[in-house]
Structure 1
């Protein structure tokens, strides 16, 4: 499924991409020198670069259009039990509103809950008190999640570790059954000019890292690849589909 950055989000993405490029150039220039003060300054700039990268990544993870796409996915699939991964409490609250309107009953699992509450929530999910579990990333960390047939990943990440953990939440214990994993790939809006195309390519490359991990084991691999290739032609970047 595809979501699209709005104009403001894409402008922020472009601005941060430019700042990241400048920081990388500064770090590369500084690493050619060896004085202690210069090393300390390089470490500071590296920390600044990490913050910029995280800030840019959050634009992809929290794209406003993902909420619309999530609502569409929820109406399109009937697989249950279902886990929904979101990025933070702000996104969680937006998704809760949709779930209340569309399905009524669901469970929430977050790190702000007490250990007793979290265990109780998983136990209720396991017993079928509700067949939808809405979680933030705290569910990634090695928990014994009940058998689950479906997953909607709203909080997308290019981290291989996070992807493996989330896929494992679904595939564990299915014993040959088919699971449905729905990911939301973020694309830029319509682009004009070399600068926007360059930023669009940066965004899409990050998203395709996760896509490749997802589709390699999927039964509908080529269907997904063809859909993505078709979307890439809108930006003149169809060659990226071969990466």
Structure 2
């Protein structure tokens, strides 16, 4: 069968403490990867695939072997896999790049595929001007603070701290923004896309982060897509020729 589709997914949050059956959670996503493998020509993972990820020089988080093995199969078979860091897996370094063969993206990136321009990003921080968010984001992206943390904090303690932060961050987010569409005038990612489109020619803005599914026309030639998640929606995007679809695994 000819490979002809590009796939997009985000927000799996592997390792999150609120996932009641972690093995089933991981298996469902791996099953989806297996189902698309015969038709995939490229795969984009748009952030928060892990609920927390921290790498030391010789230490990485335990677990996730089924997912990592399947992604290695993709890479080994010639299917490019792209990984965009999210706000939960910020501290990803080069382990997945070297061991799995994935391309790591730390900033929003524009790709040209099938004669279309795709603006891809996890979505955290885009058009969010709140000072508190900027300060926290700056701290987590600081190379100096990362080095200090790595030098003075034991890996076991680092993972525990990270999981505690991740869980509290998720609860805080849920209190402020339930996973429902807030409308064009309040959704940061929609507003960002509208501003960006004024000076750029983009056909599809594709984001994760918000845990909602959204397919919104901005102009006759431009749409914004929010991919949902793999916690409640089990949703993904597919691009075949010039047709982009939001789909749901198992539906």
TM over 0.5: no
TM-score, L = length of structure 1: 0.28
Normalized per residue, which structure has more helix?
1
Normalized per residue, which structure has more strand?
2
TM-score, L = length of structure 2: 0.28
Compare CA radii of gyration and give the structure with the larger one. 1
